[in-house]
Structure 1
Amino acid sequence: MEIQENLMKLEQEKQQLHNELIRYKNYDPTNVEQLENECQKARTAIERWTDNVFQLRTWSKNRFQLDLSEVDKGFGIPNNFDYYNDDE
């Protein structure tokens, strides 16, 4: 009986440690590095698409002899459209 009780206690402790390990998995250096890499890819994509929008604005302005505010209004580009800034 004592062995069985000890086994049950050890199983409970194992489960608690397993749950704790899962809680800290987000802080695993491998996971953190992967997340940083994914964030960098997202930033690069944001910059690329922002560049594309500015190129489209400039091309439209020159091609159709329009003011940039008219181009922005036509494409639904907000007044505060700009490059992403991590500091904000």
Structure 2
Amino acid sequence: MSVSSSLKEDDNSTQLTVLKDVFQLKDLEKIAPKEKGITAMSVKEVLQSLVDDGMVDCERIGTSNYYWAFPSKALHARKHKLEVLESQLSEGSQKHASLQKSIEKAKIGRCETEERTRLAKELSSLRDQREQLKAEVEKYKDCDPQVMEEIRQANKVAKEAANRWTDNIFAIKSWAKRKFGFEGNKIDKTFGIPEDFDYID
């Protein structure tokens, strides 16, 4: 067990009696070995652990760090935690009561009978059958008229976009020929445009 955990496991009131005043690290390095039996070398590490856990406050003033842990802060923290836990308990109790009512209400008319058992089996069988049919329909999804129409529409949009870009390329080629006197085949070769480049029918 580490020195830090042994100090934290100690009684809170005893722990706080050490820090009912404001101290510097050097003061605590003298007090802690006597009061808690912690080696002076470990005090800084234990103190930092307590600061990180919010059990000890620390403030830098000038070039020095000052540490304190007043009992009133711990008391307020415990009171706040108690209020939160009581609120959660109250909410949990209300939810539990509400669920119990729902269960009781749901039990009305649900006596186990032969007919109920038979209907439950039939329902289970129908659900399995529905899953099989859904899997079967999924296999033939590509032949679904609605899916085919969506594919046709997507193809139409893609074709229009491709022809628009083809139009843009032809316009740039025409501009380059006029502006710089380039030949069409040189432009094609320079920019990697295929010889059969044309609009999509």
TM-score by length of 2: 0.37
Partners in 1 of 2:163 and 2:129 — Cα distance?
A: 49
* Residue 81 of structure 1: how far off its partner (Å): 1.2
| Match for residue 76 of structure 1 among 171, 192, 197 | 192
Partner of 1:56: 172
* Residue 7 of structure 1: how far off its partner (Å): 5.8
Q: Greater CA radius of gyration, 1 or 2?
A: 2
| Bigger fraction of residues in strand | 2
Specify the code of the residue in structure 1 equivalent to 2:133. L
Partners in 2 of 1:67 and 1:28 — Cα distance?
A: 50
The answer to which of 8-17 and 60-69 deviates more is: 8-17
Asked if 1:38 corresponds to 2:154, the answer is: yes
| Bigger fraction of residues in helix | 1
Kindly report the root-mean-square deviation, in angstroms, between the aligned alpha carbons of the 2 structures. 2.3
Asked if 1:19 corresponds to 2:135, the answer is: yes
* Residue 27 of structure 1: how far off its partner (Å): 2.5
Partners in 1 of 2:144 and 2:194 — Cα distance?
A: 40
For these two proteins, the number of residue pairs brought into alignment is 85
Give the unaligned 5+ runs of structure 2: 1-117
* Residue 35 of structure 1: how far off its partner (Å): 1.4
What secondary structure does 2:137 align onto?
A: helix
Runs of 4+ deviating beyond 6 Å: none
1:26-82, Cα deviation, whole Å (9 max, x unpaired): 333222221111110001001101111111111111110111111112222122212
What secondary structure does 2:165 align onto?
A: helix
Give the unaligned 5+ runs of structure 1: none
Partners in 2 of 1:58 and 1:17 — Cα distance?
A: 58
Specify the code of the residue in structure 2 equivalent to 1:68. G
Specify the code of the residue in structure 2 equivalent to 1:60. A
Specify the code of the residue in structure 1 equivalent to 2:130. K
TM-score by length of 1: 0.75
